[in-house]
């Protein structure tokens, strides 16, 4: 049987908002790692800003780096172009400028031109 931490990580990874909410409300630690050593916010479905919001509301730390790559969720969201999810991460304490991953890249370094344009339009980046 899967641990509650594995259940939360799997629910986050598959975008199951209801199950994430239920497990968090039952007291599962949003910063606990699953059996693969990753937190729910590290493996969450990037195209689901509601998951990011829920995890952050329950004090998930968006600055805990992935143990193998050193990337944080902001690295993943910005690289994949999930601006709505990125905005939730930024509200929760993530940064565009740190930390650097194992390759010396900050989240902003991974932004495509279109993502940069969206961030400028939203007032997140200067013109």
d(C-alpha 45, C-alpha 63), whole Å: 17
What pLDDT is attached to residue 2?
A: 87
How many C-alpha atoms does 66 have within 13 Å on its Cβ side? Answer: 18
d(C-alpha 91, C-alpha 74), whole Å: 11
What pLDDT is attached to residue 44?
A: 97
Spatial contact of 89 and 77, defined as CB atoms under 8 Å apart: yes
CB neighbours (10 Å) of residue 85? 25
In the structure, what pLDDT confidence band is assigned to residue 34 with cuts at 50, 70 and 90?
Answer: very high
Q: Give the pTM.
A: 0.94
d(C-alpha 71, C-alpha 8), whole Å: 20
């Amino acid at each position: 049987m899967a641990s509650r931490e594995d259940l939360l990580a799997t629910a986050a990874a598959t975008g199951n908002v209801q199950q994430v909410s239920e497990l968090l409300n039952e007291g599962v630690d949003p910063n606990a790692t699953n059996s693969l050593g990753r937190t729910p916010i590290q493996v969450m479905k990037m195209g689901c800003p509601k998951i990011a919001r829920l995890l952050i509301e329950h004090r998930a730390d968006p600055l805990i780096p992935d143990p193998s790559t050193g990337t944080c969720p902001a690295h993943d969201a910005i690289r994949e172009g999930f601006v709505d999810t990125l905005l939730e991460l930024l509200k929760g304490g993530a940064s565009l400028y740190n930390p650097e991953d194992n390759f010396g890249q900050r989240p902003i370094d991974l932004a495509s031109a279109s993502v940069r344009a969206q961030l400028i339009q939203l007032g997140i980046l200067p013109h």
